[in-house]
Structure 1
Amino acid sequence: MVATRAPQSSAGPLSRRGVLACAAALTATPGWAQEQIALKKAAFPIGACVQALHLDDQALVDLLQRQVSQITAEWQMNMEYVIGPDGGFQFDAPDRIAAFAQANAMRLFGHTLVWYAQAHPAFETLDETRIGFGDAYRNYILAVVGRYRGRMSGWNVVNEPVTEMGDGLRESLWSRRLGQLEHMSLAFNTAREADPTAALFINDYNLEYFPAKRATFLRLAERLLASGAPLTGLGTQMHLAADLPRGSVSEMMRDLASLGLPIHVSELDISLVRADNKALGRQELQRRQSALYGEVAEAFARLRPNQRFAFTFWGLRDRDSWLRKENATDTPSPFDDLGRAKPGAVAIAGVFGI
């Protein structure tokens, strides 16, 4: 997912609280912040993604226990993991993550059921003399959601359904076999059948960069609701670059809020190396990263309380971020490699009043 520069926004500046929080963050030292901050004291859930192997790292476990109140499986509840090479289901890793969440009184969020980018060979080579494609699709969702019935705060039911530039909906094995809107409606209805209490989301990225994509995303939500699908929330991933123009996030959040549904900041990180403006030095990018973390927090805090579903980081420490695989010099997370709070975490804490 490549973040691309958006046009300058006309949205207004941060509130006085947000400006003061960002200013404090820029002068804070990691040692001071590490001792002071507990993000999970926010008035809404603070989340982070994990892999099962992360739970062997006691330093990270300690940080998670101090900072978060919700856990998302980074990829081990995805089809690529759950369906094994032989076509059978494997739940060892997601079960371990679920057990960790339960043992630590954390909410558990499911990611993801249907994704255009993942179609397991078991579906591509399905013998329809034994089971129809639609039945196999339903059975998969029933099995995965049903396994964690009553334990999930919510699921990303459909992930990244809108094309890169927002000119339509993505094609996939699922859309070709079951229909573009129909496969999504079927997924939502099946997930609700499997778990009557979990919140059910569509989730996408670059909604703050491309207004056209955001508009298509919102139209899709309206179409799903009109079809009777039990869509109950909107997920905005927010894989950002540090040079995102000020106001872009606030404008996006206002647009998403217009439907009245709960909003999940679902995969937040802020890359330095993905910044388009190569003339900016690293120190300036770090300053902008901290300010942008504060702006995201400010935009989320402005939502009505019933729309603030959760605020989730995609990698709590720099060393655990997926972006490190792209570039080992990137430092996109709110905590450094050693788990010390960076100025971005200080900014967030200031905005959230914790």
Structure 2
Amino acid sequence: MKKLALGAATVLALGTFAVITNQAEAATQTLQSLAAANGRYFGSATDNPELSDTAYTAILGGGEFGQTTPGNAMKWDSTEPAQNSFSYAKGDAVVSFAQAHDMKVRGHTLLWHNQLPGWVAQLPAAQVQAAMENHITNVATHFKGKVFAWDVVNEPFNDDGTFRTTSPFYAAMGSDYIADAFRTARAADPDAKLYINDYNTDGQGAKADAMYNLVKTLKAQGVPIDGVGFQAHLAIQYGFPTNMQANLQRFADLGVDVAITELDVRMVLPRDSAKDATQATYYTNVVKACVAVTRCVGITIWDYTDKYSWIPGVFSGQGAALPWDDSLARKPTAYNAIATALGGVAESPSPTKSTSPPPTGACSATYRIVGSWPGGFQGEVTVTGKSAWTATWTFANGQTISQLWGGTVTQSGSSVTVAPASWNSTPPATFGFLASWNNSTNAIPAVTCS
């Protein structure tokens, strides 16, 4: 795993929070390293369009995450768009990125009633089983040795705990399709962990009971099921799932692993401090529940940034569900909640940063390092107090900006000048950048604005 190293200099405050200043902690504390210390992984989903966003991938592959799940690249409509015609380019791209950044890959998903190409629904019932087995065999064989686990069957239940009878697989085979899918997957990839995965099963209730009874039955029948995935798509306007830890434990007691597979915590917009606090509590509760259950093997957030969250496109007026905002900046409350629940040290309020407003007509600027890795880092500057601003600073250790968003950069040697983008001139205005550095100390420069 690549480690984050913030350098020896203390990072200046952003708002009322400051990044951890102890160099040893900063050099080793990432969500993945904290999870690993608990014998677990911490991951983020991703998707192919996002892999062209270098600012995004710098964080995804920069050490915070030890695992990734392709959101869409391995689903049936991507891998077998026409019958017996397989396409793996998208899935291979995610796997290649993960391998290059020392991340495990969770396969998602071999069988789901959604995102099926039209030809599947048009099959006569007598042909569905053969097509299903052929699909699972081909896909699992292609990714054999490249994924550590598969969501073999995804979302088999309605919210009341009844089976989804509209699924073409259930319609053709009844609930027997589930056992057949697991046996077929095991034959294709004997080493991958095989999971069943669903939402609204995180706490105790009718749907969780149905899943529990199904897993118990599958185990009694000798079906090769290794784990249960709990998606944990939560919302602060609803109550936290009932007895989550006890619910995870009862599944583990059946002799299977459990995992939090698609975690996010949405809210009704606009976001405010009270909602952030409730969201942080939800994140804390989920992580603590997983850590408390020995067979809870890891946690995956459903992408790490609001920039690429699925929530706004599905739940109108809702969002802000993830620990990084849509500018790829960490949200201190959400991030701290996860880090401290994993046993880490939180970002703490700065005791020295003045909260007095700048004089009328003046401006001030704060600089922070969002994350770093060998040879590079992501920085962020926030300007307050004046519109039509220009920010300037001088790097001390050979840093070179390679990409900047929210403004226009001019760099001459070590001197940097940034003018705002047209949409980003009204303070508080924040811009971010990626940069390389070639010295053992990534010093924090003093930023001025005018």
Query: TM-score higher than 0.5 here?
Result: yes
Partner of 1:332: 321
Cα distance in 2 for partners of 1:106, 1:29 equals 33
Deviation at 1:246, TM superposition (A): 5.1
Q: In proportion to residue count, which structure has more helix?
A: 1
Structure 2 CA distance for partners of 1:28 and 1:107, relative to 1, 3 Å: farther
Matches within 5 A, 1:294-333: 294-304=284-294, 307-326=295-314, 327=316, 330-333=319-322
| Contact kept in structure 1, 2:323 and 2:335, CA below 8 Å | yes
Partner of 2:277: 287
Q: Percent identity?
A: 29
| Contact kept in structure 1, 2:307 and 2:328, CA below 8 Å | no
**Partner amino acid, structure 1, of 2:299:** F
Structure 2 CA distance for partners of 1:102 and 1:286, relative to 1, 3 Å: same
Partner of 1:3: none
In terms of mean alpha carbon deviation, does 85-94 or 42-51 score higher? 85-94
Aligned residue for 1:136, secondary structure, equals helix
Deviation at 1:338, TM superposition (A): 2.7
In terms of mean alpha carbon deviation, does 315-324 or 326-335 score higher? 326-335
Cα distance in 1 for partners of 2:147, 2:219 equals 22
Aligned residue for 2:319, secondary structure, equals coil
Aligned residue for 1:67, secondary structure, equals coil
Structure 2 CA distance for partners of 1:28 and 1:269, relative to 1, 3 Å: farther
Cα distance in 1 for partners of 2:118, 2:196 equals 24
Q: Is residue 273 of structure 1 aligned with residue 262 of structure 2? A: no
| Contact kept in structure 2, 1:318 and 1:324, CA below 8 Å | no
Partner of 2:209: 215
Deviation at 1:314, TM superposition (A): 0.3
**Partner amino acid, structure 1, of 2:60:** L
Partner of 1:117: 114
Cα distance in 2 for partners of 1:281, 1:104 equals 33
Cα distance in 2 for partners of 1:246, 1:178 equals 35
| Contact kept in structure 2, 1:242 and 1:286, CA below 8 Å | no
**Partner amino acid, structure 2, of 1:62:** A
Match of 1:225 among 212, 219, 231: 219
Cα distance in 2 for partners of 1:189, 1:246 equals 35
Cα distance in 2 for partners of 1:308, 1:208 equals 13
Match of 1:52 among 48, 53, 66: 48
Match of 1:169 among 160, 163, 166: 163
Partner of 2:71: 74
Q: In proportion to residue count, which structure has more strand?
A: 2
Cα distance in 2 for partners of 1:103, 1:47 equals 15
Partner of 1:7: none
| 1:217-245 Cα shifts (integer Å, max 9, x gaps) | 10011111122210000100000011443
Cα distance in 1 for partners of 2:187, 2:275 equals 46
Match of 1:40 among 32, 38, 43: 32
Structure 2 CA distance for partners of 1:215 and 1:329, relative to 1, 3 Å: closer
Structure 2 CA distance for partners of 1:229 and 1:30, relative to 1, 3 Å: farther
In terms of mean alpha carbon deviation, does 321-330 or 236-245 score higher? 321-330
**Partner amino acid, structure 2, of 1:335:** W
In terms of mean alpha carbon deviation, does 54-63 or 232-241 score higher? 54-63
Deviation at 1:261, TM superposition (A): 1.5
**Partner amino acid, structure 2, of 1:38:** T
Deviation at 1:344, TM superposition (A): 1.4
| Contact kept in structure 2, 1:298 and 1:351, CA below 8 Å | yes
Aligned residues: 317
Deviation at 1:133, TM superposition (A): 3.1
**Partner amino acid, structure 2, of 1:54:** E
Structure 2 CA distance for partners of 1:29 and 1:149, relative to 1, 3 Å: farther
| 1:233-271 Cα shifts (integer Å, max 9, x gaps) | 010000001144357233433333332311110000000
Matches within 5 A, 1:333-352: 333-342=322-331, 343-352=333-342
| 1:156-191 Cα shifts (integer Å, max 9, x gaps) | 00001111122x2211110121221x1111110111
Structure 2 CA distance for partners of 1:101 and 1:115, relative to 1, 3 Å: same
Cα distance in 2 for partners of 1:29, 1:63 equals 23
**Partner amino acid, structure 1, of 2:312:** R
Cα distance in 2 for partners of 1:328, 1:317 equals 17
| Contact kept in structure 1, 2:271 and 2:320, CA below 8 Å | no
Match of 1:102 among 99, 124, 149: 99
TM-score (norm 1): 0.82
Structure 2 CA distance for partners of 1:121 and 1:33, relative to 1, 3 Å: farther
Cα distance in 2 for partners of 1:28, 1:295 equals 26
| Contact kept in structure 2, 1:243 and 1:288, CA below 8 Å | no
**Partner amino acid, structure 2, of 1:284:** A
Partner of 2:151: 156
**Partner amino acid, structure 2, of 1:347:** A
Cα distance in 2 for partners of 1:69, 1:159 equals 23
Deviation at 1:89, TM superposition (A): 1.8
| Contact kept in structure 1, 2:204 and 2:241, CA below 8 Å | no
Cα distance in 1 for partners of 2:178, 2:195 equals 11
Gaps of 5+ in 1: 1-26, 275-279
**Partner amino acid, structure 2, of 1:45:** Y
| 1:27-64 Cα shifts (integer Å, max 9, x gaps) | 99565269955111022111111111111111111111
Cα distance in 1 for partners of 2:317, 2:74 equals 26
Larger Rg: 2
Gaps of 5+ in 2: 1-13, 345-450
